[in-house]
Structure 1
Amino acid sequence: MASSSNDPFSDERFDDLFDQTMDHLFDTLSEIQAPPKPKKKRAFIERERELGHQQLWNDYFSEDCTYPLHVFRRRFRMNKPLFMHIVDRLSEEVSYFKQKRDAAGRFGLSALQKCTAAIRIMAYGSAADAGVINVFGDEYLRRPTADDLQRLLDVGQSRGFSGIIGSIDCMHWEWKNCPTAWRGQYTRGSEKPTIVLKVVTSYDLWFWHAFFGPPGTLNGINVLDRSPVFDDIFKGRAPKVTYWVNGHQYDLAYYLTNGIYPDWATFIQSIPLTQSEKARLFATTQESVRKDIERAFGVLQPRFAIVKKPGSILG
């Protein structure tokens, strides 16, 4: 009988062949593997915050500052010691006004720079968004024109809803500093006081109507009764629209809503209890298209943090 050392199928021989095969396979895969992608570095932009702080200090706060005391008082409506007292308190107690370091370890804007910008706005009595309103108000803060309505009707028809010009809904904005005497009319149950924002938006996230200020105890119907969204229609100033559905002509556009709104000709709601395939298709399509307004609220709050944080207006 031959010895096991000469057996081509012995365990040792098999282990050697297996190791050689795996080594060859590993080398082959290593050669054909794509090289690692180089790490992208973030672009560095020199903002010269330190230089800006030093220039501000030299202009108003150093011993031999550029602008004298009477100019400082005229521009900031207060004397310099009071100004510095405000800066010190805010930098100690309010997180936003504290000077912080970025990811690279560099200091951001100083408390003096932040307070100077805020107090200048207060001193000159103009809202922070006044410039935006003056420049872009005519383009974005306006009623829809006849061309706008026709475009909305065309897009609505392509989505399966002839005559739709948008969706209508409301959201609640927490009012942090609500006066105690008003908490009852702005609070629902055990919740915090809120203010209602009712809007009309279209597929492109354009806010065609915004009604802000009703107390949080109101629901969608109560806010609708106070909203001027239909004033142009009542007064005959709304642009005329015409569209056809199943061979019938209609002259009144409509909005998509949820189930809380009344059964008006200008509101198209979903079907809560569908009993047929046709009804299920309509409900699914209506709820899908009405997501435009939910998407608008979802985009508005992350991009403009003031909307998702407690409001302190009138507080």
Structure 2
Amino acid sequence: MSNWSSDQEVDDIVEEEVDSIVEMIQYNYTHPYVPPAPIIRRVHIERDREEGHTRLWNDYFSDNPTYTNAMFRRRFRMNKPLFLRIVTAIENGVPYFRQRRDATGRLGLSALQKCTAAIRLMAYGYTADAVDEYLRLAETTSHKCLLHFVEGVINLFGDEYLRRPTPEDLQRLLNIGEHRGFPGMIGSIDCMHWEWKNCPTAWKGQYTRGSGKPSIVLEAVASQDLWIWHAFFGPPGSLNDINVLDRSPVFDDILEGRAPRVRYVVNGRQYKMAYYLTDGIYPKWATFIQSITLPRGRKAKLFDQWQEGCRKDVERAFGVLQARFAIVKNPALFWDKGKIGKIMRASIILHNMIVEDERHDYNFYDPAEFHHGEGSGSSHVDLSYSTDIPTNLHNMMGIRNDVHDTQMHDLLQKDLIEHIWQKFGATAQ
């Protein structure tokens, strides 16, 4: 009996071993051995970053630079003192741009190298690795420089150079508008599309209009000196100007009672609502003055010519913005819409900084002209007007009705036609 039991145990053990061997064979057959992939280590490239900084300094920033100030202006899109002011503020305000030493005591990239890389990418619309040979920055480093640079520009300069018009700004804009024949005009408004090359496939239908390519819309208000006073970026490209206007915060300050009150006289009639010059797609509100589609008579034709000439300010601003910073002219290569928005916002801030820096070189009008001559002095900003009006539904609805008043629009347009004829009709005959 005991021998039988021992034989049975041996058989069970043998059967288990055989089963395990069969399972192993089957597993190896269904899961063939794959040797581990070789570890590919990142190749270190000694770029000699110190030599890159020295070359950049000798080319543009030394006491006797290789290239002239005019060549600096063309390649950096701004004058040298303004660029150095931006670099100093960025270096002090953004930790990423401060030059540090590594574990071996070797100095890292300088703020000049990083800011120059960012400016070159914005100015020429380069890919991130295009500045490697000259500035000695890797592709990933150039990409980080651009993103940190635009964030620094927004945080350090956005409040000043993308502000709402102050009462002093409004008074200057009103004076210029009156001098040009449009009392009460504070700029022109229009939209621009920025093509989005790497738009996610799921969003392409939303951001594409007709059979075109995906794009993102920028709504802007610009004055005659090309300063951009309002920038609303982000609506999908499938929207037209009216749909963008419905989402835009351009009239939020007026509706909430925070905007200064103005008054001006046109053709002997007093008005209290400033306006923008627009093209024909915008609605006939008291805050918009469009050109006449089919002008009849010499007065209407003369008004149409002057309106279209002044309305080109915002289109000129778009053209100069794209010429200065090709990154907003070429298709956007980023996947993240938030990063694209920061680049557009920083480009507008830098554009306004350049406009302010070079304004003395392009004096369109002598300030003395605003105090002499026909019709001067009728446009004023009410500095005593309090902007601390309680924001409630009743007040907002009343102001909204004033903004959307079509009868006031028609009356203002008729007075402007007569005013333009009285001011410029003699020279047109």
TM-score range (shorter-chain normalised) is: 0.5 to 0.7
Q: Secondary structure at the match of 1:221?
A: helix
Superposition pairs for residues 88-167 of structure 1, below 5 Å?
97-98=129-130, 108-110=134-136, 113-115=137-139, 117-118=141-142, 121=145, 127-167=148-188
Question: Which of 1 and 2 has higher RCO (CA within 8 Å, sep 6+)?
Answer: 2
Q: CA deviation at 1:128?
A: 2.0
Q: Residue 245 of structure 1 corresponds to which residue in structure 2? A: 266
d(CA) in 1 for partners of 2:128, 2:153? 23
Q: Residue 172 of structure 1 corresponds to which residue in structure 2? A: 193
Q: Residue 52 of structure 1 corresponds to which residue in structure 2? A: 52
Q: Residue 248 of structure 2 corresponds to which residue in structure 1? A: 227
Q: CA deviation at 1:117?
A: 3.6
Task: Give the number of equivalent residue pairs.
Answer: 227
Q: Residue 209 of structure 2 corresponds to which residue in structure 1? A: 188
Amino acid at match of 2:134: G
d(CA) in 1 for partners of 2:272, 2:242? 24
Superposition pairs for residues 192-271 of structure 1, below 5 Å?
192-271=213-292
Q: Residue 29 of structure 1 corresponds to which residue in structure 2? A: none
Contact 1:156 1:164 in 2 (8 A): yes
The structure carrying a bigger helix percent of its residues is 2
Same amino acid, percent of matched pairs: 63
TM-score, normalised with respect to structure 2 = 0.49
Q: CA deviation at 1:114?
A: 4.0
d(CA) in 1 for partners of 2:291, 2:144? 50
Q: CA deviation at 1:313?
A: 3.7
Q: Give the unaligned 5+ runs of structure 1.
A: 1-47, 56-65, 76-93, 101-106
d(CA) in 2 for partners of 1:192, 1:118? 28
2:302 to 281, 285, 293: 281
Superposition pairs for residues 293-304 of structure 1, below 5 Å?
293-304=314-325
Contact 2:128 2:143 in 1 (8 A): no
Q: CA deviation at 1:109?
A: 2.8
d(CA) in 2 for partners of 1:95, 1:139? 30
Q: CA deviation at 1:183?
A: 0.8
Q: CA deviation at 1:118?
A: 2.6
Amino acid at match of 1:67: D
Q: Secondary structure at the match of 1:273?
A: coil
Contact 2:197 2:333 in 1 (8 A): yes
Q: CA deviation at 1:282?
A: 0.2
Q: CA deviation at 1:120?
A: 5.1
Contact 1:49 1:108 in 2 (8 A): no
Contact 1:256 1:290 in 2 (8 A): yes
2:102 to 40, 44, 67: 67
The change in CA–CA distance for 1:232 and 1:308 in structure 2 (over 3 A counts) is same
Amino acid at match of 1:118: S
Contact 1:199 1:210 in 2 (8 A): yes
The change in CA–CA distance for 1:256 and 1:121 in structure 2 (over 3 A counts) is same
Q: Give the unaligned 5+ runs of structure 2.
A: 1-47, 56-100, 109-125, 337-429
d(CA) in 2 for partners of 1:233, 1:216? 27
Q: Secondary structure at the match of 2:218?
A: strand
Q: CA deviation at 1:272?
A: 1.2
d(CA) in 2 for partners of 1:99, 1:53? 13
* Structure 1 position 310 matched with structure 2 position 310: no
1:123-172 deviations in Å (ceiling 9; x for gaps): xxx63223323332232121101111111000000000000000000011
Contact 2:218 2:233 in 1 (8 A): yes
1:88-122 deviations in Å (ceiling 9; x for gaps): xxxxxx9652578xxxxxx6233xx2436436549
